Structure 1
Amino acid sequence: MYRFGTTAPTASKGPPGALFGVLKAPTVFTRPAAGDRILTTSPGGEAAYVAGARWIAPASVQFDEALSRAFDGDPGRARLIGRGEVAKAQMVLRLEVRTFEATYGGDPKAAPEVVVQVRGVLSRTGDRALVGDQVFEAKVRAADNRVGAIVAAFDQANAKVIGDIVGWINAAGAGLPAE
């Protein structure tokens, strides 16, 4: 069993100031990639799972845990607020993980490229105005066509996308007053 989310995203350098809260709506994951199996795709639209390899928890759960750790470790102003927490959120974040797979090119024995693509939608809570809508993507070629190398590529691609999301939110909230 394998895990991702161990590579720390690059910390953003947000502007100094008071913290602002971001309520994260439940993350939407594509169904084939959301579970605990490692998804691969090949030319022609063929999809398969890596035989005998599983994530230690569903990919959707690990993604959310990695995102929470990234916000906790980031020096920027944005802080995630979980459902039920007694804190006021100034923004709402919706994430849709569109692609989370290892993609093989023409040679099925060659190392695959891991692709992580996430659409983020950020809106203000007060007036529900759209603050931003952006697609984040990372592609990382696995060092080898072995499960360990493929998992390491997932970890790197995921860390890149999550780091970009955290930086984007910190930049979007730069003008927000503290509440």
Structure 2
Amino acid sequence: MIAPRDLLRAAVLIVCAASLAGCISLLPKTKPSQLYRFEGATAATGLPAAPPVAGVALFRTPSSFQRAASGDRILTLTGGQAAYIADARWMSPAVVLFDEALMRAFDANPGPARLVARGEPARTQYALRLDVRDFYANYDQGPQAPPSVVVRVRVSLLRSADQIQVGEQVLEARIRASDNRVGAIVAAFDEAVRTVLVQLIDFSNRLGASA
């Protein structure tokens, strides 16, 4: 015969188990975010033919990136309101993806300008500074219409010997997405980055040709 104390203990265990089961079922089920990336890998194909001049080495100095867009979330603006696209993220922080696209574009560049990485044993003639000031999807035609992706970069070139600025330009691309879907918006980001990199490398090559 089961003692009353044992019956009470068993009842308490059953109640605790039921309570735990109830807690587990109440935990929110989160949908995993879809990961995206932009490459701008074909930037060099949009460049004009470069004259046969000696190479010009550029050293990339510490640069800046729009803070709200520098992480792995995709920034949008609707009027005066900023928001991130739900359930969608960049595969890596946007600042990292942009740097990788920049390196690929210079590697494929047929012109004289060459980007020198930190620690690379090479003498550089110029220092390159980039300030990515805008990097977002702008819903300028309403929240249901395809947005326009805006990428704006201020580029400065300084002579390494004396740190005198020898060139400055603001590069900008505005690419309208083909649809108000994440995939189409990401494709617009990719094209905007490619367009800005074409302008940047052309600017760098022209400096090399004049030097």
Q: Indicate whether the TM-score tops 0.5.
A: yes
Specify the alignment match of 1:114 in structure 2: 149
Unaligned runs of 5+ in 1: none
Question: What displacement does 1:75 show?
Answer: 0.4
Deviation sequence 1:31-77 (CA, Å, 0-9, x none): 1010000000011x200000010000010011011011001001000
Distance in 1, matches of 2:48 and 2:97, equals: 21
Relative contact order, higher structure (CA 8 A, sep 6+): 1
Distance in 1, matches of 2:166 and 2:115, equals: 16
Distance in 1, matches of 2:63 and 2:98, equals: 9
Aligned to 2:52, which of 1, 12, 16?
A: 16
Aligned to 1:39, which of 69, 75, 81?
A: 75
Question: What displacement does 1:14 show?
Answer: 2.3
Question: What displacement does 1:106 show?
Answer: 4.2
2:153 maps to 1:127:
no
Give secondary structure in 2 for the equivalent of 1:173.
helix
Aligned to 1:29, which of 61, 65, 82?
A: 65
Distance in 2, matches of 1:26 and 1:2, equals: 26
Distance in 2, matches of 1:13 and 1:128, equals: 29
Moved >3 Å (runs of 4+): none
1:1-179 correspondence to structure 2 within 5 Å: 1-9=35-43, 10-43=46-79, 45-176=80-211
Please give the TM-score of this superposition, normalised by the length of structure 2. 0.80
> Kindly tell me: are residues 11 and 106 of structure 1, through their superposed partners in 2, closer, same or farther at Cα, counting changes over 3 Å?
closer
Q: Which of these two proteins has the greater Rg computed from alpha carbons?
A: 2
Please give the TM-score of this superposition, normalised by the length of structure 1. 0.94
Amino acid at match of 2:174: K
Amino acid at match of 2:179: D
Distance in 1, matches of 2:150 and 2:209, equals: 30
Question: What displacement does 1:30 show?
Answer: 1.1
- State whether residues 27 and 60 of structure 1, in contact with CA within 8 Å, keep that contact through their aligned partners in structure 2: no
Deviation sequence 1:91-144 (CA, Å, 0-9, x none): 000000000000002420110000000000001101222111110000000000
Specify the alignment match of 2:21 in structure 1: none
RMSD: 1.1
> Kindly tell me: are residues 138 and 165 of structure 1, through their superposed partners in 2, closer, same or farther at Cα, counting changes over 3 Å?
same
More helix by share: 2
Unaligned runs of 5+ in 2: 1-34
